[in-house]
Amino acid sequence: MEDQQDPIKSAFEKVKDDMNFLNNEILDIKVAIAEIREAIMLLSKASTDRQTIRHINTTNHAYTTDNTTHSSTVPQEIEGLKSPNISTSIGNEGVSTDRQTDIQTDRQTHDYIENQQKSIESNLHDASIILGSLDSIKKEIRLKFKHLTTQEMSVFSTIYQLEEQFPDDEITYKHLSKQLKLSESSIRDYVQRMITKGIPIKKQKINNKKVFLKISPELKKIATLSTIMKLREL
């Protein structure tokens, strides 16, 4: 009986050993497959990275050459017998026409700004001359009116104000006499003194009888009565 059990036991032990061996082999195969998969993934990632870098370099190159590659990809069949639209200028040894256009645009913009600056400087120069002339004229006006007496200045101011209030009326010695409560002879005297001192008062005689008085329009364009009064007080 023991002799029969020993072969059976031996057979089961052998089967058990074989199963353990097979399990170890399967485990080794699984480990190898996992390593192979990992290696394949690494290779695939490296290849993708190289393609990405190559694409970036290609894109940068295409950008730095002002997109000159776009015109080369146009099929010649579409163009027919027309000459291809080359984006570079042969006469400028391959310089991009876009770049050349940008340079011309920048130069035109620079010239325009420079011309504008020159124009502004010229206008400022002219304005400075005009202001200088006005300052000179104002100084002259100030000196002339400072030499007037209070009464003479009163007669001048009255003529100026009457012209402003009644532009259509004619101002005579009689009008001023009534306005200032002075004699006509005194008014004549004051007016003549002012004319002698260089004050621009115009006298217009009609029919060798009536005399009309008027402030020079040129003076009124330059300075108002209030301005003249302020200049006189300086």
Domain boundaries, the chain: 8-52, 127-233
Q: How large is the average pLDDT for residues 66-93?
A: 49
Give Dmax over CA atoms of the chain in angstroms.
179
pLDDT of residue 2: 47
Listed range (7-21, 64-78, 153-167) with the worst mean pLDDT: 64-78
Of the candidates 201, 200, 190, the one whose C-alpha atom is nearest the C-alpha of residue 148 is 190
Average pLDDT score, the chain: 76
pLDDT of residue 93: 52
Tokens coding 204: 């217009």
pLDDT of residue 184: 93
The DSSP-derived string for 76-111 is HHHHTTSPP--SEEGGGTSEEHHHHHHHHHHHHHHH
Compute the half-sphere exposure of residue 24: CA atoms within 13 Å on the CB side of its CA: 6
Query: Is 50 exceeded by the pLDDT of residue 186?
Result: yes
- E strand intervals along the chain: 88-89, 95-96, 201-206, 210-215
| pLDDT band per the 50, 70, 90 thresholds, residue 191 | very high
Query: Is 80 exceeded by the pLDDT of residue 179?
Result: yes
Q: How large is the average pLDDT for residues 19-31?
A: 72
| The CATH number fitting domain 127-233, selected from 2.40.10.350, 3.40.630.30, 1.10.10.10, 2.30.30.60 | 1.10.10.10
pLDDT of residue 81: 46
Query: Is 80 exceeded by the pLDDT of residue 188?
Result: yes
Query: Is 50 exceeded by the pLDDT of residue 77?
Result: no
pTM, 2 dp: 0.47
pLDDT of residue 65: 53
pLDDT of residue 61: 55
Q: Which of 30-34, 63-67, 228-232 has the largest mean confidence? A: 228-232
Query: Is 90 exceeded by the pLDDT of residue 181?
Result: yes
